[in-house]
Amino acid sequence: MKVLGIKEIVRKDVPIYYRRFFSGIASIEFLNVAVERRIDFFIETMPTGSKEIIVTIAEPVDYPLVPLIRALKSTIDALDTNGDLPL
C-alpha cells in the first residue's frame, strides 16, 4: 500500500483559529491497483505547539484502516510542513 498523493484539497472555514478542516481526494495504490477515495481531515495545533491530525475516509476501502490512516497522516503532515495546503 502506498499513498500516491492528495489532490483537490479544499479548506473549510472554521471559527476556531487553531483547528483547520480540509477535504480532498486521496490517490492510494493497493496491490499495483490505484484507487481514489474522498477524505476529510483536520489539523489541530495543541497548546504545546504539536500538531494532531485526524483523518476520515468517506468511502469504503478494501484495505486495513490502521496502516492506511497512518500513511495518510504522514502525507498530510508533509504537505503541511512544506506549505502545500491551501490557506
Structural domain span for residue 47: 2-82
Residue 87 lies in a domain: no
55: in domain: yes
Tell me if residue 18 falls in helix, strand or coil. Answer: coil
CB atoms within 10 A of CB 23: 17
- pLDDT, residue 67, reads 94
pTM of the model: 0.91
pLDDT in tens, 8-24: 999 999 898 899 999 99
pLDDT tens digit string along 28-52? 998 889 999 999 999 999 999 999 9
In a domain? residue 74:
yes
Identify the residue whose cell numbers are 476556531: 16
Query: How far are the Cα atoms of 1, 21, 33, 45, 71 from residue 67, in angstroms, in the given order?
Result: 9, 22, 17, 23, 6
Evaluate whether residue 14 is within a structural domain. yes
Q: Is the pLDDT of residue 82 over 90?
A: yes
- Indicate the number of domains in the chain: 1
24 found inside a domain: yes
